[in-house]
């Protein structure tokens, strides 16, 4: 593989980016930096399913969702999603899919807007940052 960082992005960042009209927002910049190849996005079937479900629920335009999923197909590195964790079962079990992806892929970073994930600060070898802090790390 390459020396580029391996990164898992929480659904909250994708939703914030796609619903924001501010192209300079940190979530939009994170997505833009990924599309520009500054890091490798880790994707699992579980994360992809959650993103599709929540973007549809938030009534994000279908063409924006299709464009995002086309980018996943072209630019993301897919993990099988076979590792499972119950680390956050007592707090927010839906967030476990992101931790699982981090562990399975040995991701360098998890980028999130979710306080349950951000409060952890790290999970095994993965550092957990909000979008702005992650962008600061990339510079």
Contacts of 61 by beta carbon, 8 Å cutoff, 6+ apart: none
pLDDT tens column, 66-124: 999 999 999 999 988 775 666 554 555 588 899 999 999 999 999 999 998 999 999 99
**Euclidean distance between CA atoms 106 and 6, whole angstroms:** 8
pTM for the model: 0.91
Q: Sign of dihedral through CA atoms 30, 5, 136, 51?
A: positive
pLDDT range class, residue 54, cuts 50, 70, 90? very high
């Amino acid at each position: 593989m390459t020396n580029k960082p391996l990164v898992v992005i929480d659904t909250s960042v994708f939703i914030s980016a796609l619903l924001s009209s501010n192209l300079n927002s940190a979530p939009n910049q994170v997505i833009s930096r990924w599309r520009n190849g500054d890091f490798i996005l880790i994707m699992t079937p579980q994360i992809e399913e959650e993103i599709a479900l929540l973007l549809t629920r938030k009534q994000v335009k279908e063409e924006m969702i299709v464009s995002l999923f086309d980018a996943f197909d072209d630019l993301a590195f897919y993990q099988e999603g076979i590792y499972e964790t119950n680390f956050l079962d007592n707090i927010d079990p839906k967030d476990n899919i992101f931790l699982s992806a981090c562990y399975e892929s040995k991701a360098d970073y998890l980028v999130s807007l979710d306080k349950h994930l951000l409060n952890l600060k790290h999970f095994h070898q993965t550092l957990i940052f909000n979008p702005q802090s992650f962008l600061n790390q990339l510079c």
